[in-house]
Amino acid sequence: MKIHQNFFLAALFVSGIMAACNSSQAPKNTEQGEQITDSSSISGLSPQLPDSNAFKGVADGKQIHLYTLTNKSGEQAAITNFGGRIVSLLVPDQTDKLTDVVLGHDNIKDYQRKEEFFFGALIGRYGNRIAKGKFTLDGKSCQLDINDGKNTLHGGFNGFHKKVWEAKQPDGHTLELTYVSKDGEGGYPGTLTAKVTYTLEDDHSLKIAYEATTDKTTIVNLTNHAYFNLNGPGDKTITDHLLQLEADEYTPVDVTLIPTGKLEKVAGTPFDFTKAKLIGAQINDSNAQLKNGGGYDHNWVLRKGTGLRKAATVSSTKTGIVMEVLTEEPGIQFYSGNFLTDKMNYGKGGATYGYRSAFCLETQHFPDSPNQSAFPSTVLKPGTTYHSSSVYKFSVKK
């Protein structure tokens, strides 16, 4: 997060044209199925995105829609303004077949289930955990929703993942989402105006740019919670993926997954991904930190640098798809899908999203930073603007 710098774009890969349901907020949208750009460079069947009609709805008096982005090569992404969620992300594999690498659902009702696990969502006001949902700011104690045991997770019960964002589509490859979080919402001080811009480029990257302002001193830590499996739809595991993290340290946690405040070296531990290795290589090792997380569910401390820089590289040994994550943030949360179970049997196409069938790489400031003075600050003051960017960029290893 950068508070005093100009707004930055965040990036993920999948380019595209945009189509979506007709909406007064998205005047340039087109219905799914209308061809806007040439997709002949991608071979095989046309990509199958969820039906936009299954995403029409109303929540909090606001209209919900599904928006589709497609680039000149025919790669596609579908995003709903309910929670700003990435629903589908279609990229070519080593045979040039389009593959959906993001887990999600086929309709808006499944995203609104009580037990839903933040699939593809924008996370705010504060991504990750805050101990006991408490922090002190300018001498005042703030109490947040407690929605994760004794702690606050991802903004609380009704965080940004459950909000209907105002959507504007200025062109075929850009979606702008805006949400105004009122003073005291979820226990957070100040009225926070957040803007997130998804831009799908022809360089195989989907960019996400975060911006926020406040009228009172507050905290902010925005991220995206996409669940990935580069093996493709319905694949049962991510332990066969190769992962490399640009980090020599991580933040160990207690049994409630709150950082202890220490930074520990990854060398000689199962947390060492400084060189590419299989996610499953050491995930079941006898290790106190792995036990606390049920696997990997930790923040890695990225090597210091300026501007947008590489944080992670993941690749599938089955499809050849490679994903790079770039960010301006100081940390990245690697989550290995430890809490997914076979009860999650209503995925896209009827898929079951079971144990460790997906991973998340959430760019972020550190968990519990408001209570950890040694961690990078997440404080935002009036008159300043929060800017952050992250990138998920795709390629193929043949």
User: Could you tell me what percentage of the chain is helix, strand and coil, using 3-state DSSP and rounding each to the nearest 5?
Assistant: 5, 40, 55
User: Judging by beta carbons within 10 Å of its beta carbon (0-12, 13-18, 19+), is residue 92 exposed, middle or buried?
Assistant: buried
Spatial contact of 198 and 389, defined as CB atoms under 8 Å apart = no
Closest to 151 in 3D by CA, of 75, 257, 302, 236:
257
What is the residue-wise DSSP string for 218-285? EE-B-EEE--B-TT-TT---STTEEEEESEEEEE-B-TTS-B-S--EE-TTSTT--SS-EETTSSTTS
Tokens of 293: 């997380």
Q: Residue 255 is which amino acid? A: V
* 3-state SS assignment for residue 139: coil
User: Judging by beta carbons within 10 Å of its beta carbon (0-12, 13-18, 19+), is residue 160 exposed, middle or buried?
Assistant: buried
* Residues carrying an active site annotation: 225, 362
Spatial contact of 364 and 376, defined as CB atoms under 8 Å apart = no
